[in-house]
Amino acid sequence: MRTVLLVEDSKLLRVEREHTLRKAGYHVVVAIDGIEALSVARDNHPDLILLDMMLPKLDGPSVLRALKADALTAQIPVVVVTGLSQKNEERLLHDGAAAFVGKDQLQTSNELLLCTIKKILGSCAV
């Protein structure tokens, strides 16, 4: 079973996404702020990280850069899930994100998120 680290400070979104991921067959570990995200990633070495950008204690871009600078976590693919505009996408991809998904794209369905995860992990043809 693949492990996904879900980094989301909004309880509503965290619970909903965690349910979606578990239902899709993933083991889910959770972090609610940037500092916790780094610790959980190092301790659990997940197969993939879903990273919100607006986080307490340490923001998402800083978390992304720290993950990519750490030999223990640098190879873990990070999918940025954010409400920030797509003008930030190029910078985040440059900083090491594997993919960028806007929260507005997920308001009606989580299929895009699940397929993005599957594509990165090698099991979606899209």
> What digits encode the pLDDT tens for the residues 82-119?
876 666 778 888 899 999 887 777 766 788 899 999 99
Least confident range of 29-33, 35-39, 47-51, 94-98: 94-98
**Can you list the pairs that 84-92 forms with residues at least 24 positions away whose Cβ atoms lie under 8 Å?**
84/53, 84/54, 88/53, 91/61, 92/53, 92/61, 92/64
Instruction: State the CATH number of the domain containing residue 96.
Output: 3.40.50.2300
The answer to whether position 59 is within a domain reads yes
> What mean pLDDT is reported for the chain?
90
By residue range, what is the domain housing residue 108?
3-121
What's the CA gap between 58 and 54, in Å, rounded?
Answer: 9
Within-domain flag for 126: no
pLDDT of residue 91: 84
| φ, ψ at 38 (rounded to 5°) | -65, -45
Q: What is the pTM of this model?
A: 0.92
**Mean pLDDT across 52-59:** 94
Q: Is residue 32 part of a domain?
A: yes
Assign 21 a pLDDT band (cuts: 50, 70, 90).
very high
Q: How many domains does the chain have?
A: 1
81 and 50 in contact (C-beta within 8 Å)? Answer: yes
